[in-house]
Amino acid sequence: GLPSRVRIHEVGARDGLQNEKSTVPVDVKAEFVHRLASAGLTTVEATSFVHPKWVPQLADAEELFPRLADLREQGVRLPVLVPNARGLERALALGADRVAIFASVTESFAKANLNRTVDESLAVFAPVVAEAKAAGAHVRGYLSMCFGDPWEGPVPVERVVGVAKALEAMGCDELSLGDTIGVATAGHVRALLTALTEAGVPLATLGVHFHDTYGQALANTLEALRMGVTTVDASAGGLGGCPFARSATGNLATEDLVWLLRGLGIETGVDLDSLVATSMWMAGHLGRPSPSRTVRALAGS
Ligand code: HMG
Ligand code: MG
């Protein structure tokens, strides 16, 4: 069966904007996050405390995050990415109470994204997770390249299970399975979720993070929902890809996801018209139209 409610983990302000050629001014980012929250999104990933030279688009994290304090007081969840102890320290200093680490399942992407091997990066994350938990923060663990890798090709499910178990053992509260380059198909999703379930990873703690490169993101999402997943990552207007992975195109658009879920009678709390208006507004700032089919269909109506 299908769940009656799905929690959307909105990543547009982070995963979306990190991949834009131009850097969006901090005022626009702050307004974007506020608009996403007022459209009914309850989890809005805000920014990353990574090295500013690696992701210049998000170098203003220290300026942006304090401007979102009113949202946190209202109960909006504002997770931020931290790649290491330095990132965690920066995030905690500003009062962040939800952080996300991001591991790669493949060696090539671990090197490209974190400048480490998979094992070295896990060794960096372990004390970061422990320290975040000790500070009372909720920790999400991303797994990138869960289905295919631009350098290594298809990724065996056992590799994903291994990294998932490692992140779970560190104390991550939630995991997100990233199809970073968007090559997954529904059968592969079923195989991976089956392998994770058999390995004792509860689907209730899993989110899915699809990219729409081959137009499969919604089919993959539906398969994951049928198998018991209830958290889905999406990016308003379909913003973003990944600057460190060739051939990564946009994330699943939040509007496309909401259209699917609304049709299925699944609750999300999101006001689609308000979200479309926000993505149109952001497209104006970025100077290019949203790739989301739903945004385009509803924009003229
Ligand atoms: P490194 O160069 O190996 O860093 O980068 P290092 O540990 O050797 O340190 C070098 C210098 O950087 C030091 O300064 C550190 O203090 C500084 P120095 O002593 O030379 O003056 N430094 C920092 N400064 C500020 N904030 C920090 C920080 N860390 C070190 N956090 C590092 C290693 C991890 C830092 C770098 O590779 C990095 O920042 N990577 C982040 C890349 C990134 O953000 N990628 C995108 C997110 S992942 C993704 O998009 C996938 C996902 O969306 C899922 C999906 O879509 O599938 C999650
Ligand atoms: Mg993504």
Ligand 1 atom with minimal separation from the 52 CA: 25
What distance in angstroms lies between residue 146's CA and the mean position of ligand 2's atoms? 12
Q: Collapsing DSSP states into helix, strand and coil, what is residue 246?
A: coil
| 240 CB near ligand 1 (under 6 Å) | no
**3-state DSSP of 249-285:** CCECEHHHHHHHHHHCCCECCCCHHHHHHHHHHHHHH
- Tokens 């509860």, residue? 202
Write the pLDDT tens digit of every residue in 170-181. 999 999 999 999
| 15 CB near ligand 1 (under 6 Å) | yes
pLDDT value, residue 207: 98
How sure is the predictor about 242, in pLDDT bands with cuts at 50, 70 and 90?
A: low
Angle at 67 between CA 63 and CA 73, to 5 degrees: 140
Q: Quick one: which ligand is closest to 128's CA?
A: 1
- In a mutational test of the pocket of ligand 1, which residue from 50, 53, 114, 167 has the highest number of ligand atoms less than 8 Å from its CB? 50
User: On the CB side of 19, how many CA atoms lie within 13 Å of its CA?
Assistant: 20
| 101 CB near ligand 1 (under 6 Å) | no
pLDDT value, residue 301: 62
| 48 CB near ligand 1 (under 6 Å) | yes
Which residue minimizes the CA distance to atom 51 of ligand 1? 144
Per-residue DSSP letters for 107-121? Answer: HHHHHHHHSS-HHHH
Backbone angles phi, psi at 169, to 5 degrees: -65, -30
Which residue minimizes the CA distance to atom 40 of ligand 1? 114
Which residue minimizes the CA distance to atom 48 of ligand 1? 102
Write the pLDDT tens digit of every residue in 124-161. 999 999 999 999 999 999 999 999 999 999 999 999 99
Interface predicted TM-score of the whole assembly (ipTM), two decimals? 0.97
What is the rounded CA–CA span in Å between residue 277 and residue 197?
A: 39
The packing angle between helices 85-93 and 118-134, to 10°, is 30
Ligand 1 atom with minimal separation from the 48 CA: 44
The residues assigned a catalytic role are 242
What distance in angstroms lies between residue 115's CA and the mean position of ligand 2's atoms? 19
The strand pairing partners of 102, in sequence order, are: 142
How sure is the predictor about 19, in pLDDT bands with cuts at 50, 70 and 90?
A: confident
| 50 CB near ligand 1 (under 6 Å) | yes
How sure is the predictor about 248, in pLDDT bands with cuts at 50, 70 and 90?
A: low
**Number of residues that make up the chain:** 301
| 19 CB near ligand 1 (under 6 Å) | no
- In a mutational test of the pocket of ligand 1, which residue from 17, 18, 51 has the highest number of ligand atoms less than 8 Å from its CB? 51
